[in-house]
Chain A
Amino acid sequence: MIAALLHSKTAFLKIGFAFAVPLAVAGTPLPSQRASEVREIANETVRVPPTVFSYRAAGEFNRERVAVSAPLLQLRRDAPVVIMKSQVTEAAFEECVRDGACRALARPSLGRPDVPVSGVSWEDATAYARWLSSRTGEIWRLPTDEEWVFAAGSRVKDEAVETDSDDFSQRWLAKYDRESARDRTADRRTRRIGSFGANEHGLLDIAGNVWEWTDSCFVRQSLDAADRAVGEPTTNCGVRVVEGAHRTYATSFLRDARAGGCSVGAPPDNLGFRLVRDEGSWLGRFIVSLKRLKPIG
């Protein structure tokens, strides 16, 4: 067991950096595929074996009333995550629409079997998961944020902002600069599956230009001086964690989070998803998970 959930941040940071592998190394672009092969990929899953991984907690945290970076946790899974190799495709989603189980997209897709569906809300994604489960007799659901990060492996970028200043505006500006510095492609149109390569587990297009809904709710937590949770977190399940090239949070009924607002630096290009297949026994088997974050004596 890991004794303390929330060590000092610097100790965890080191672990975090050890995981950081440059994208170019991790990603191997696929050769062009025929539609039939793509259809197979769409139904394929990847079994990510248990391991220890570092996880920057999702949500917002404050320590002694000042906003701080989320704690970097070291998590260990003792069961694999079985997750779709590619994002759910236009063709697959349209099938759910035809069955009357999913709401039609705002902009009809071309129903391509080799392009990830985009313009879907968390509600759409969960409706699809329900439909797929009833069709297959298996349990399909959106991954939790921890599961997504675990499966995304080296493609996860830790973007925590560290400033020494107790002037909140400095942190705000640093965060804005970080968001502004992201490489943006002018073309946000979705691309063929595999265009963004595979990660070390064989998952395709992680951190490409389609962001993925997770099942995790937005959480706000107070920490004490030793970075231990103080009191119960505020949980808002109307806002879900969205993962991709960077982590963000989106209102669950939004199908397009692109419209930039006031101080939003770089919203997700597209909203899509992939599902995990629940194999029952390991559900909730995180030895450490944010949901169980409690003060530790």
Chain B
Amino acid sequence: MFNRRSMLMCAAVSALLVAAPALAQDLSKLARVKVDLVAPPFIHPHEQATKAAPRIVEFKMNIEEKEITIDGDGTKIHAMTFNGSVPGPMMVVHENDYVELTLVNPDTNSMAHNIDFHAATGALGGGELTLINPGEQVVLRFKATRPGVFVYHCAPGGPMIPWHVVSGMSGAIMVLPRDGLKDETGKPLHYDKAYYVGENDFYVPKDENGKFKHYDSGGESYPETVEVMRKLIPTHVVFNGAVGALTGKNALQASVGERVLVVHSQANRDSRPHLIGGHGDYVWETGKFANPPQKDLETWFIRGGSAGAALYTFREPGIYAYVTHNLIEAVELGGTAHFKVDGKWNDDLMKQIRPPEPIGAGDKLGSIAPHTGHAR
């Protein structure tokens, strides 16, 4: 049977690889900066373009296994998290910076974990060098050679890989060009605000009455969870870890005229972000900044296992729904965030000329008659 012990068996002995020879140049002269990560949807303070020479950027993440509530029904899962949040925090560096991550697996956890950076080169994205048991920590350095937004996720081997990922263990890193973002002609692009929307798909087993099941531990949930996972139909598709995590009091804020960058990641499954009532002015659909952004998109496609970025200037106040435009997933499974945008309404872009009223009511008042025929 599945128990804590057999899960720990997945912990590979990675000491050999750590001792491998390194060809790295002397990095001791490089400047070091330390970054304090913040929980999504927010992103730690950073420069959009930098004059500084490439440097070593230090991050620290604690892996936290904990129960989280993923919907308004109080459905709980035993989540696995980078730094306590689902998704994990957004990291930002510049091209050719060195990312130096201290990954900590406290002994209060029960499983081995690691981290695979899609932005990194070699050793399974760092996964091969970072597998740590409860009570261990590891320090990984990699050079961020490719500008773009990239997924990172846990990949502790075999069947543990998809399970850890759909238990919440993914996040994103943004590697900005040193001179910042550019449009298709090479002109600089700036943002006033940036949000990170990490999307997760969850697979929660149901009991015979159709109610979501609760388990005493992650290990106990595993066998039945895998059964649901293998059918490939998620029970929840959520932004920022839970249904409604980015709506209501937690809606994303912006103002008319503000340029907002939204980074969207999905470590496991395809998604199609769409801003209802708005657009993507500039979209790096595949998330890689060496490619020119596409313009004026209505919906963009995030391939499972990738991140993308969209830049948009809000032009009207009000509520915008940011959804995955499979509307079944958006409305029934949870894939909806809201932007609350303040500012002054612009009648030129849109105006309700007459409110809803009985058919033909406008005629008397001289407006154009609606099409008759098959009204209602």
| Chain A interface residues (CB < 8 Å from chain B) | 60, 62, 65-67, 106-108, 110, 167-170, 172-173, 176, 179-181, 184, 186-189, 220, 222, 231-232, 234, 258-263, 265-266, 269
Contact = CB atoms under 8 A, between A and B. Distances in A.
A179 B209 contact: no
A16 B112 CA distance: 60
B248 A261 contact: no
A169 B358 contact: no
The DSSP consensus for interface residues of chain B is loop
Contacts of A222: 355, 357
A137 B344 CA distance: 59
A227 B276 CA distance: 34
A176 B249 CA distance: 9
B159 interface: no
Size band of the B side of the interface?
Answer: 35 or more
Contacts of A186: 69, 72, 74
6 contacts: A65-B352, A66-B355, A179-B248, A222-B355, A234-B357, A266-B248
B72 A258 contact: yes
Nearest to A166: B345
B43 to A, nearest CB: 23
A67 B352 CA distance: 11
Contact of B244 (A107, A110, A176, A260): A260
Given A180-B251, A260-B243, A232 B358 contact: yes
Given A62-B355, A222-B357, A262-B336, A172 B318 contact: yes
B340 A173 contact: yes
Given A107-B209, A262-B321, A169 B345 contact: yes
A260 B249 contact: no
Contacts of B244: 260
A168 B352 contact: yes
Contacts of B249: 180-181
B248 A259 contact: no
Given A168-B345, A176-B319, A186-B72, 13 more contacts: A65-B352, A65-B354, A107-B211, A169-B317, A173-B318, A180-B247, A181-B249, A188-B72, A222-B357, A231-B357, A231-B361, A260-B244, A262-B321
Contact of B319 (A60, A173, A266): A173
Contacts of A60: 356
B331 interface: yes
Contacts of B358: 231-232, 234
A231 B356 CA distance: 13
A229 to B, nearest CB: 13
Contacts of A66: 355
Given A107-B209, A107-B211, A263 B338 contact: yes
A120 to B, nearest CB: 16
Across the A-B interface, the 6 shortest Cβ-Cβ residue pairs: A180-B248, A169-B317, A262-B321, A187-B74, A169-B318, A263-B319
